[in-house]
Amino acid sequence: MSQSITSTLSPSLERFTALFTITQPKKLAASIVIPFIALLVFLLLWSAGASHIQTSLGVFPGPAKVWEQTLALWDEHQAARAKEHAFNERMQKRVEKAIAAGKPQEKIDRIRERSYTGPATFIDQIFTSLGTVATGFILASLIAIPLGILIGMNQTLYQAFNPIIQLLKPVSPLAWLPLVTMVVSAVYVSKDPMFSKSYITSAITVTLCCVWPTIINTAVGVSGVSKDLLNVSRVLRLGWFTKTMKIMLPSSIPMMFTGLRLSLSIGWMVLIAAEMLAQNPGLGKFVWDEFQNGSSNSLARIMVAVIAIGFIGFLLDRGMLLLQKQFSWDKSAVLR
């Protein structure tokens, strides 16, 4: 038993340290220098092209302006944090004063309840977006994986569900949004809601759009279990539960992860659109607000958001890829 633990630890440890060992300087140089040069060329082209595009909001922002706005957004975030900190300190002093003056308990509680009501900063919005996409994605996975397994195992269920899946799969989130908004407004009524309605609406829209790749890929993975392995389970007389847990599920994990990875990337794209319309205080809303604002800095700030969205999407995908490499036993699949 302990043998297998150390044997799974040491390869991971080896892989980790391998990331930091420079084995071939020439290859490393090539793999850094080439993308770097490409990036430089891209920035130059962008800068040159942008200066030629005149819009009603001013010249299209080049890399310099975008960088300027990145710093500005970060400063704004810091300033807002400082403000909030000061506010909380003031509130704390008021509470202490009230206790010392012997004011009634409910008044003290009411002072405590007052929270900082400044606008959400760019960084806050990033975290809101991440939270929303996580909620939507996890909800989608919880629905899609069991459903995919059932559909994959049963031909009748597959024939029943397949038309519906094919019909709903291509629907744009923007089409779902009004329906979801109305339903959430009607159903989600509470005096003290834990999540705002826009949050729920965005999360559900993400779920509706990103549930399909996982269902389909899981079903394909489960139904494509090798006949030989099924024969092994028959000779061993494995019970239905044992067969599912020990043969069908492990066999379909690579396909399942492919589906999850696709779902996450679709979910992230859908989220931005959903937030824009549902006004969930995330990156989508940021873009929309900047657009409505129409200041001379707006386009640059929107570009910052675009880069942030792209970069976060990239990180999310890499994260899923790491998980897939860890859990997927299919070494023959090329994972990139």
Q: Which is nearer to another protein, 198 or 258 (CB)?
A: 258
Q: Which two tokens stand for residue 36?
A: 């770097």
| Complex with another protein: residue 3 or 292, whichever CB lies closer | 3
Q: Which is nearer to another protein, 244 or 279 (by Cβ)?
A: 244
Which one-letter DSSP state was computed for residue 134?
Answer: H
What the block records as the tokens of 170 is: 């291509």
**What letters, b where the CB count within 10 A reaches 16 and e where it falls short, cover 44-56?**
eebeeebeeeeee
- The closest alpha carbon to 272, from 299, 308, 301, belongs to 308
Residue 218 CB, shortest distance to another protein, in Å, is 16
37 Cβ neighbours under 8 A, 6+ residues apart: none
Backbone torsion region of residue 294, taken as left when φ is above 0, otherwise alpha when ψ lies between -120 and 50, otherwise beta = left
Cβ atoms of 317 and 268 closer than 8 Å: no
Smallest gap from Cβ 7 to another protein, in A, equals 6
Q: How far is the CB of 149 from another protein (least distance, A)?
A: 16
CA atoms of 301 and 35, how far apart (whole Å): 25
- Shortest separation between residue 160's beta carbon and another protein, angstroms: 17
Closer Cβ to another protein, 96 or 330, answer by number: 330
Residue placing its CB nearer to another protein in the complex, 194 or 235:
235
Of residues 88 and 155, the one with the C-beta less far from another protein:
155
Helical spans, DSSP H, in the chain: 2-18, 25-50, 63-100, 105-113, 122-153, 155-168, 173-187, 197-223, 227-235, 240-243, 249-278, 283-293, 298-327
Contact at 8 Å (CB) between 217 and 247?
no
Of residues 220, 206, 241, 221, the one with CA closest to residue 316? 206
Q: Return the number of the residue (134 or 249) whose C-beta is nearest another protein.
A: 249
Identity of the residue, 35 or 224, whose beta carbon is nearer to another protein in the bound complex: 224
Residue 203 Cβ vs another protein, minimum distance, rounded to whole Å: 33
Judged by the rule CB under 8 A, the positions of this chain that interact with another protein are: 3-4, 7, 155, 226-232, 234-238, 242, 246-247, 250-251, 253, 329-332
CB of 230 to another protein, least distance (A): 6
Q: How far is the CB of 264 from another protein (least distance, A)?
A: 23
Q: How far is the CB of 227 from another protein (least distance, A)?
A: 4
Cα 40 vs. chain centroid, distance in angstroms? 29
Q: In terms of DSSP H, where are the helices of 224-297? A: 227-235, 240-243, 249-278, 283-293
